[in-house]
Amino acid sequence: MSDASLHDARLSACPACDAAPLARQLADRAGAVQPDLILSLPTIHCATCISDVEGALRRHSGVRDARVNLTLRRVTVDAPGLEAQELINVVERAGYEAHELDPAALSASVADRQGRDILMRIGVSGFAMMNIMILSVAVWSGAEAATRDMFHFISGAIALPTVAFAGQPFFSSAWRSLRAGRLGMDVPISLALILASAISVFETIYSGHHAYFDAAVMLCFFLLIGRYLDYRTRAVARSAAEELTALEVPRAFRITPSGDEAVPIADLVPGDLIRLRPGARVPADGEIVQGTSDIDRSLLTGESIPVPAAPGMALSAGEGNLTGQMIMRVTAAGRDSSLARLTALVAAAESARGRYTSLAERASRLYSPMVHLLAFASFLGWFWVTRDLRHAVNIAAAVLIITCPCALGLAVPTVVTAASGRLFRRGLLIKDGTALERLAEVDTVVFDKTGTLTMGVPQLVSLDPLPVALRPFALVLAQGSSHPLAQALAQAVLKDGVSAAQVTDLRELPGDGVSALAKGVPIRLGRAEWLGASHGDATLSASWFQMGDSPAIRLEFADRLRPGAKDCVAQILQSGRRVLLLSGDAPPVVRDLADRLEIKDWRAGISPQGKAEAVRALSDQGQKVLMVGDGLNDTAALSVAHVSLSPASALDAARTASDMVMLGNDLAPVAEALAVARRARSRIKENFGISILYNIVAVPFAILGFATPLMAALAMSLSSISVTLNALRLR
Amino acid sequence: MEILAILIPVSLGLGAAGLAAFIWALRGRQYDDPKGDAERILRKDWDEHPKP
């Protein structure tokens, strides 16, 4: 079977018609050659969007097929030989934002298969449960003798294969935990399934009154739903996290005798010459060979002011090149680069964090031995009193089934699904299963400054120092550069309603500034030294403007606050939690921001290790710290903290180290997440309460031998439904 | 009670048919994009003539 036919099958309008055998084959081939291009379409939302995107792509020559997946907001394009950039342009012309996704970073097919596997087991046990229930209703309403036996036989014929198939996840997990010498939640589940099936077969053969086939299948069904919700939460988080990673297609432009070639960053070796375009991130450690520019170090050190760069200066991976084109020689790449060294620091910090025991684990640790003891005690008790082995085993099986944790298995996943769904709609992605519980315990919130509380984008403080007559000239110069300060100036002047003046000979001198001639008079915009002024020990970053020989005018810039930052900090303070600001930036800048946000505890000029130390010191004092940060300098602190969060604009390493990622620009969801997490934790505890209450009512009946299959079915479904409804109140 | 000989196989057959349909839909990746499928039915692209 050729590759082409495989893809045609996947993308045809009716994939179901011919895909059944192909789907599996395709999944098996994951990791083989993947010629399909995948684009992320963050803005699509409706039927028209689907038509527009698919139509535009299909009309493009060379595209064989395109299919939009609205759930994942992606389009898969079968276009052999076409470049992603070309397709992105096509989609953008149709009016939709598009980004290339790295198919290698999306391990979707493996995850899909796992999800379909659980769904299949749910389906099988669901259908089996319905059929057995129909037969059981007849038995409960008084079918007798031969009819009852026949119904039991038919139920058994359906139930045994179903339990064997649908119960596999529990059996294998129970076997694993038994071999590791632990009693997990799955051990009593497996024991109940096996014992219930076995005792029912025995009772059926000896035409007994009670068979628990329906209970065994129902148990599978409800517990699999819990498993599936659990899986879904993790899969959604993982696929979104993968998407964030896949968005950064890591390429560098290597200079070779035959021209530039785009190579994966992993292929760089020391000694390579690579070209750095303005706006690109430095892919490896190295030294500048040629060209001048400005370097943005905010992600590495937290400094908000760009640094001028010239040949001979050392660059670290992760820094951003702002204005000029440069050529650098690689000195350390991949595993040896400073980026990788910081990652090692993170790994060390992570192992020191210690494992968090989730509420579910704590519950099962209490619960498993209790169930086994109860069942065994009732078996011994009845055997000692009646000397009837069959009856005693029957009672023990009934106790196991009644106590079995249907509701307990649903208690946590339903709440986590509801809560993370709610937070996801507000733009917060939870990557770790226990993050919500840990978030509920937080009493101290530590913020990073640059890129977290601020946007990392400068804003002009005031336009007043610039005389009105000079503004058109300042605007035309500012528009000539992609330096962030120049862009901010242009924005501020444009907002004032000024239009640009006519100038000639507009030039950008990377690292210095922009110059031009206005009716023969030289005008310049740039850094202080270039214009013969002195920056002094001012707290704010500044750009200078000069016309002719007149003294240079100082224009000050402050970092812009992230939207929602003020509300977020105010709400957290109001909820009685402590707020700390740790920054690598200079003290005056940090003090200014702390005053604006009314944060009393702040520390400036802290190194990456210093941040991690500070967070660890807080933890040692018994405080539960939420760390919010975005830069490489925060990564170690993020992994030391009790729970951590980073914005989507953060570096890959920071996002990997944190438990939650904020997808939007707004900081407000952070305060909401803290509140939702607390509510989620109390819902989980309520759910445990509900399941224990059902057990307290039902277990005495079971131990005293009054339990019937009807009672087991009622207790199981009622407790599961009430637990789910309680969880849904969070949405 | 002879009716049971017909009714039980019929009910089991219906259940099996439902299960087969579910597995068919699952294998056919019809659960991969539930949101997209819900929207696709509203498109006007193939109102005039069927998709080639």
Pick from A19, A71, A134: CB nearest B33: A71
| ipTM score over 0.85, yes or no | no
Mean pLDDT of A165-189: 84
Mean pLDDT of A370-397: 87
- Which of B23, B41, B44, B51 to mutate to test binding with chain A, by most A CBs within 10 Å of its CB? B23
Nearest-Cα residue of chain B relative to residue A147: B1
pLDDT score of A164: 92
Nearest-Cα residue of chain A relative to residue B17: A127
Mean pLDDT of B16-30: 86
pLDDT score of A160: 93
Q: Across the interface, do B43 and A48 touch by the CB < 8 Å criterion?
A: yes
Nearest-Cα residue of chain A relative to residue B39: A47
**Helix, strand, or coil here: A731?**
coil
**Which amino acid does the sequence have at A676?**
V
**In the structure, what pLDDT confidence band is assigned to residue A23 with cuts at 50, 70 and 90?**
very low
d(CA A142, CA A96): 64
Query: What amino acid positions of A are annotated as catalytic residues?
Result: 448
d(CA A326, CA A306): 16
d(CA A388, CA A288): 88
Please tell me the pTM assigned to this model.
Answer: 0.72
Would you say residue B36 lies in a domain? yes
Closest to A707 in 3D by CA, of A341, A295, A456, A378: A378
Give B48 to chain A, closest Cα distance, Å.
Answer: 15
Q: What residues of A are in contact with residue B11 (Cβ under 8 Å)?
A: 131, 134
Backbone angles phi, psi at A588, to 5 degrees: -60, -40
Structural domains in chain A, CATH included, are 3-109 (3.30.70.100), 110-249+360-442+624-731 (1.20.1110), 251-350 (2.70.150.10), 456-561 (3.40.1110.10)
Mean pLDDT of A390-404: 83
Q: Across the interface, do B35 and A116 touch by the CB < 8 Å criterion?
A: no
Would you say residue B37 lies in a domain? yes
Mean pLDDT of A29-44: 65
Give B41 to chain A, closest Cα distance, Å.
Answer: 8
**Helix, strand, or coil here: A578?**
strand
Would you say residue B12 lies in a domain? no
Q: How many residues are given for chain A?
A: 731
d(CA A532, CA A548): 13
d(CA A631, CA A84): 29
pLDDT > 90? residue A341: no
pLDDT score of A2: 38
**In the structure, what pLDDT confidence band is assigned to residue A528 with cuts at 50, 70 and 90?**
confident
Would you say residue B27 lies in a domain? yes
**Helix, strand, or coil here: A534?**
coil
Q: Across the interface, do B29 and A55 touch by the CB < 8 Å criterion?
A: no
List the domain range (segments joined by +) for residue B21: 17-43
- Which of A50, A125, A150, A239 to mutate to test binding with chain B, by most B CBs within 10 Å of its CB? A50
More confident position, A520 or A245: A520
**Which amino acid does the sequence have at A427?**
G
Share of chain A above pLDDT 70, in %: 85
Helix intervals (H) in A430-483: 435-440, 471-479
Residues of B near A (CB-CB distance < 8 A)? 1, 4, 8, 11-12, 15-16, 18-19, 22-36, 39-45, 51
Would you say residue B50 lies in a domain? no
Nearest-Cα residue of chain B relative to residue A67: B36
Of A34-43, A64-73, A535-544, A679-688, give the lowest mean pLDDT range: A535-544
pLDDT > 50? residue A7: no
Nearest-Cα residue of chain B relative to residue A117: B26
d(CA A135, CA A240): 45
For chain A positions 65-104, those within 8 Å of chain B (CB to CB) are 68-72
Closest to A342 in 3D by CA, of A659, A645, A660, A652: A652
pLDDT score of A163: 92
As given in the structure block, the two tokens for residue A410 are 């649903």
**In the structure, what pLDDT confidence band is assigned to residue A165 with cuts at 50, 70 and 90?**
very high
Q: Is A600 exposed, middle or buried (0-12, 13-18, 19+ CB in 10 A)?
A: exposed
d(CA A234, CA A255): 42
Q: Across the interface, do B28 and A23 touch by the CB < 8 Å criterion?
A: yes
Q: What residues of A are in contact with residue B4 (Cβ under 8 Å)?
A: 147, 150
d(CA A509, CA A526): 9
- Which of A11, A70, A76, A239 to mutate to test binding with chain B, by most B CBs within 10 Å of its CB? A70
Pick from B29, B31, B36: CB nearest A70: B36
Share of chain A above pLDDT 90, in %: 3
Q: What residues of A are in contact with residue B3 (Cβ under 8 Å)?
A: none
Pick from A15, A47, A131: CB nearest B28: A15
Would you say residue B51 lies in a domain? no
Q: Across the interface, do A127 and B29 touch by the CB < 8 Å criterion?
A: no
Would you say residue B1 lies in a domain? no
Of A145-149, A418-422, A564-568, B31-35, give the lowest mean pLDDT range: B31-35
Q: What residues of B are in contact with residue A123 (Cβ under 8 Å)?
A: 19, 22-23, 26
Backbone angles phi, psi at A77, to 5 degrees: -115, 130
Give A495 to chain B, closest Cα distance, Å.
Answer: 41
Into how many domains does chain B fold? Answer: 1
CB A129 within 8 A of CB A214: yes
The average confidence (pLDDT) of chain A is 79
Q: In this structure, what DSSP letter does residue A387 have? A: -
> What confidence tens digit (pLDDT) does each residue in A355-380 have?
666 777 788 778 878 888 888 899 89
Would you say residue B35 lies in a domain? yes
CB A493 within 8 A of CB A463: yes
- Which of B37, B39, B42 to mutate to test binding with chain A, by most A CBs within 10 Å of its CB? B39
pLDDT > 60? residue B33: yes
What residues contact A258, with CB distance under 8 A and at least 6 apart? Answer: none
Q: Give the A:B interface size as CB pairs under 8 Å.
A: 80
Q: Which DSSP string corresponds to B2-49?
A: TTHHHHHHHHHHHHHHHHHHHHHHHHTTTTS-HHHHHHHTT--TTSSS
Instruction: Tell me the range of A263-272, A555-564, A638-647 where mean pLDDT is highest.
Output: A638-647
Between the alpha carbon of residue A440 and those of residues A626, A675, A677, the distances in Å are 10, 8, 5
Of A76-90, A653-667, B24-38, give the lowest mean pLDDT range: A653-667
Mean pLDDT of A4-15: 34
Give A327 to chain B, closest Cα distance, Å.
Answer: 45
pLDDT score of A104: 61
The average confidence (pLDDT) of chain B is 83
**Helix, strand, or coil here: A120?**
helix
d(CA A399, CA A700): 9
> What confidence tens digit (pLDDT) does each residue in A405-454 have?
677 778 888 888 888 888 877 878 787 778 888 888 889 999 888 778 88
Closest to A133 in 3D by CA, of A209, A207, A211, A190: A211
Give A247 to chain B, closest Cα distance, Å.
Answer: 21
Report the side by side order of strands in the sheet with A65-69.
A65-69, A74-78, A37-40, A99-101
Of A256-265, A614-623, A703-712, give the lowest mean pLDDT range: A256-265
- Which of B6, B7, B27, B49 to mutate to test binding with chain A, by most A CBs within 10 Å of its CB? B27
d(CA A476, CA A495): 14
Between the alpha carbon of residue A509 and those of residues A308, A325, A490, B11, the distances in Å are 11, 11, 18, 83
pLDDT > 80? residue A602: yes
Q: Across the interface, do B12 and A72 touch by the CB < 8 Å criterion?
A: no
> What confidence tens digit (pLDDT) does each residue in A276-306 have?
877 777 877 888 888 888 887 776 666 667 7
Q: Across the interface, do A131 and B11 touch by the CB < 8 Å criterion?
A: yes
Q: What residues of B are in contact with residue A131 (Cβ under 8 Å)?
A: 11-12, 15
Closest to A167 in 3D by CA, of A127, A125, A215, A129: A125
The HSE-up count of residue A415 (CA atoms within 13 Å, CB side) is 29
d(CA A198, CA A204): 10
Q: Across the interface, do B35 and A71 touch by the CB < 8 Å criterion?
A: yes
Nearest-Cα residue of chain A relative to residue B10: A131
d(CA A639, CA A495): 42
